[in-house]
Structure 1
Amino acid sequence: MTKRIAVEKSLSNVSDALREKGYDVVELNSEAGQNENYSAVVVTGLDSNVMGMQDAQTSSPVIEASGLSADEVCKEIEERLQ
């Protein structure tokens, strides 16, 4: 089963790297909805309220990509989804 990863729009290099590894990548935005089921969520870390929902909770791992390369983000996702 393909893992679905939500990635902030500004992280296109991360989206591309995840697609190359076979992940189903969707753009994370406020219209994505709070109840979407993602295997992981990747954010820049620059905006703590990126989804427009300060009190949103998710059981999915959230990876803050600031300071990480696309490969490092991919590695972090792979480790957390084992």
Structure 2
Amino acid sequence: MARIGVEGTLSDVREALQSKGHDIVELKSEQDTQGCDCCVISGQDKNVMGMADAAMQGSVINANGMTAEEVCQAVDSRGQQQ
């Protein structure tokens, strides 16, 4: 299964992904994204100016407005595209 970085505030998403067998890393800093296939963020700290540097090569999923199951589906579909 994939190694997924999940923002700390998304405990329901973390639990749902773990139940599907994914390896979960809590995102506390940019270094935590290294080695992750995908990262899930809450969207609360979104870079409004659009000037953020890309810190990782994998997909980033903004979970704002999504259920935990919808996030799991997004992670699975991104994994199949790679």
Question: Structure 2 length normalisation: TM-score?
Answer: 0.84
Identical-residue share of aligned pairs (%): 42
Kept after mapping to 1: 8 A contact 2:2/2:79: no
Q: CA offsets per residue over residues 16-67 of structure 1, 9 Å max, x none?
A: 000000000110111x506611110000111025xxxx32332211000000
Alignment partner, residue 28 of structure 1: 27
* Corresponding residue SS for 1:15: helix
1:22 maps to a residue whose letter is: G
The answer to whether the 8 Å contact 2:26/2:32 transfers is no
Q: Which has the higher helix share?
A: 2
What is the one-letter code of the residue matched to 1:45?
Answer: G
Q: Distance in 1 between matches of 2:54 and 2:74?
A: 22
Distance 2:11 2:31 in 1: 20
Shift >2 Å, 4+ stretches: none
Partner of 2:75: 77
1:34–1:56 Cα contact (<8 Å) kept: no
Do the aligned partners of residues 12 and 35 (structure 1) sit closer, same or farther apart at CA in structure 2, a change above 3 Å counting? closer
Alignment-derived partner of residue 46 in structure 1? 44
Question: 5+ unaligned residues in a row in structure 1: which ranges?
Answer: none
SS in 1 for 2:26: strand
